[in-house]
Chains A and B, each alone.
Chain A
């Protein structure tokens, strides 16, 4: 239940990852040799402008995309050469996804959305899926909105349902792709406060963002450009989203600091 960095085994070990794909006539080199290690309990922000390769890296780390070359070990499991089905099972067992556009199933209640990953589990290790989904919603503060459909929820609430869905399987790693991209400043703070709370509980989080002030809520910033990591350092002057939320509500302007 703490964020210390003494660990036996990294959650992510990536060595010399290259991703090349065809785009019409042109060959695009999206990743040009990325090395990255993320340990348990870390909260990492991946930053970079569009085209920097951060989304491709995210897809590779999320087992949605297969790198052209290089090795990737996720929580002790070598991902290279796994079949489509094995990748699907790996996503189900070890990963939780939070997307910019929330990506909830429309016309489906919050609890049904959250329950879904448990239903796709083939090991039948989950017995009371309904109960677990309800618990996950309570954990993100939406215990009273279980039967609401996405259209009946605000953006911040929808993102919290998505976070509950990502957490319900107790994943090794939470992957968030621009989670605050569609949110206003206050709900962004809410979501960041929730992430920090979850991270304090020991959940490893990897977040892609292009907003420097959002990255300040993490512990480590990895900056990318042209398919390479150009900077990888701990956050100086880390902020607590819960505190900023109080300041925001008392109408105090939030001091903006750009990461050094």
Chain B
């Protein structure tokens, strides 16, 4: 029998029993749909987590002071601080991979102005700071390089500080007192929320690091230097580069001398979070695959019933000259057509279901193309795998017994 005729015969037979075909396909539709919804939810969660992690600072490298040892007892991180503006400037001038560098000077100061006063962290930073932290202003603007050069007394308020000192929201342009010096507020930052450890990131005031050093801190050492690269792929190389430049800057020659600074990045955290969500996605897909498997058993069940029910038809076909292989192919094509059709409908249902779920719950969902292709391939495989046994059973029937079957 020709391929086209075979396909025609199989589809005819499927269409002759619309209700049964629909019910059989339902198992595959639900199975494939569930796989796609689960994978969509899983990869949506993965994207959301990756986005959250990147909001901590895209491609960020943190350089902090190293530790010192006195009489055999380590004094812990930051006990030996030689982190200076010169280090930051050396990184800017010598690094090929870093795209943004900002020194960070941290002081705690009582800010007075607006409707009252507020004790907060005042950070002296460069203009790159917001780029590194993936942060933006909601009103006004950040200070300029010119403000840094001329050590101008300008400040940008975090949203918590702005809310407390200027509840009416007209902070930009107003004056506040920091250590008895008047600072002009040039901008207010967008709210960034809490860190993982519960620290309010918005309880902060940013000022030019030059001004901070002169007017507020009085010290020449930095709490940390923040830097970032153009892409996460550059992070590893950039960290090595930073180490070399820092050692050079601190004149640490020879391998025996330990670093007096620490270089860290966010990728370890990001990798842990990503692997957690991919485990979750895998788990969801595995659960959904079980329903696809059950759907396949449903197809086998119906095909077996169908073989019994159509024993006489098989007998007739054999009597008029159908070979066993003709009957086998017919039943196999039927189950493959049913499962692939069910798979295609399931993809539609899955994408629709994922979108609906996304709207109802507010979860970000995305359907990867690989999941769609996998679902189609899997449903075709289900058709062949679960269709083969009933088809083989049909093909091995004895024509006389099949014809005599009531």
Stretch at the interface among B91-99, B201-209, B311-319, B363-371: B311-319
Considering the complex, give the chain A residue whose CB is closest to the CB of B322: A120
Residues of A contacting B9 with CB < 8 Å?
119
- Cβ-defined contact, B326 with A120, below 8 A: yes
Q: Does B179 contact A (CB under 8 A)?
A: no
Q: Does A53 contact B (CB under 8 A)?
A: no
Residues of B contacting A85 with CB < 8 Å?
323-325
- Cβ-defined contact, B1 with A119, below 8 A: yes
Evaluate whether A59 and B400 lie within 8 angstroms (CB atoms) in the complex, with A85-B324, A88-B323 already known: yes
Q: Does A91 contact B (CB under 8 A)?
A: yes
Residues of A contacting B55 with CB < 8 Å?
none
Residues of A contacting B231 with CB < 8 Å?
none
Q: Does B69 contact A (CB under 8 A)?
A: no
- Cβ-defined contact, B321 with A89, below 8 A: yes
Residues of B contacting A104 with CB < 8 Å?
316
- Cβ-defined contact, B320 with A97, below 8 A: yes
Q: How many of A's residues come within 8 Å of B, CB to CB?
A: 28
Residues of A contacting B326 with CB < 8 Å?
120
- Cβ-defined contact, B320 with A107, below 8 A: no
A-contacting residues, B9-29, CB 8 Å = 9, 12, 16
Considering the complex, give the chain A residue whose CB is closest to the CB of B312: A103
Q: Pick the contact of A120 from B313, B321, B400, B403 — CB < 8 Å?
A: B321
Residues of A contacting B318 with CB < 8 Å?
64, 88, 91
Tell me the bound Cα distance from A243 to B9 in angstroms: 42
Expressed in whole angstroms, the minimum distance between the Cβ of B6 and any Cβ of chain A is 9
Evaluate whether A84 and B312 lie within 8 angstroms (CB atoms) in the complex, with A59-B400, A108-B12 already known: no
- Cβ-defined contact, B323 with A84, below 8 A: yes
Q: Does B115 contact A (CB under 8 A)?
A: no
Type the 1/0 row for A116-152, where 1 means its CB is closer than 8 Å to any CB of B. Answer: 1101111000000000000000000000000000000
Residues of B contacting A36 with CB < 8 Å?
none
- Cβ-defined contact, A88 with B316, below 8 A: no
> Interface extent on B, as a size class?
20 to 34
Residues of B contacting A106 with CB < 8 Å?
16, 313
Considering the complex, give the chain A residue whose CB is closest to the CB of B406: A101
Tell me the bound Cα distance from A65 to B322 in angstroms: 15
Considering the complex, give the chain A residue whose CB is closest to the CB of B318: A88
- Cβ-defined contact, B312 with A120, below 8 A: no
- Cβ-defined contact, A84 with B5, below 8 A: no
Tell me the bound Cα distance from A65 to B402 in angstroms: 12
Q: Pick the contact of B321 from A59, A92, A105 — CB < 8 Å?
A: A92
Q: Pick the contact of B320 from A92, A108, A112, A122 — CB < 8 Å?
A: A92
Q: Pick the contact of B316 from A93, A105, A122 — CB < 8 Å?
A: A105
Residues of A contacting B317 with CB < 8 Å?
116, 120
B-contacting residues, A73-110, CB 8 Å = 84-85, 88-89, 91-93, 97, 99, 103-108
Q: Does B346 contact A (CB under 8 A)?
A: no
Expressed in whole angstroms, the minimum distance between the Cβ of B31 and any Cβ of chain A is 29
Q: Does B399 contact A (CB under 8 A)?
A: yes
Expressed in whole angstroms, the minimum distance between the Cβ of A120 and any Cβ of chain B is 4
Residues of A contacting B1 with CB < 8 Å?
119-120, 122
- Cβ-defined contact, A165 with B320, below 8 A: yes
- Cβ-defined contact, B403 with A91, below 8 A: no
Expressed in whole angstroms, the minimum distance between the Cβ of A142 and any Cβ of chain B is 18
Tell me the bound Cα distance from A107 to B16 in angstroms: 7
Residues of B contacting A169 with CB < 8 Å?
321
- Cβ-defined contact, A116 with B320, below 8 A: yes
Tell me the bound Cα distance from A112 to B316 in angstroms: 14
Q: What are some 15 contacts across the A-B interface (CB < 8 A)? A: A59-B400, A64-B399, A64-B403, A84-B323, A84-B324, A91-B320, A91-B321, A97-B319, A99-B403, A105-B313, A105-B316, A119-B1, A120-B322, A120-B326, A121-B321
Interface contacts beyond A89-B323, A120-B317: sample of 17 additional A-B pairs, CB < 8 Å, sorted by A? A59-B400, A84-B323, A84-B324, A85-B325, A88-B318, A88-B321, A88-B322, A88-B323, A91-B321, A97-B320, A105-B316, A106-B313, A108-B16, A119-B9, A120-B320, A122-B1, A169-B321
Q: Which residues of B contact A (CB under 8 A)?
A: 1-2, 5, 9, 12, 16, 312-313, 315-326, 399-400, 403
Q: Which residues of A contact B (CB under 8 A)?
A: 59, 62, 64-65, 84-85, 88-89, 91-93, 97, 99, 103-108, 112, 116-117, 119-122, 165, 169
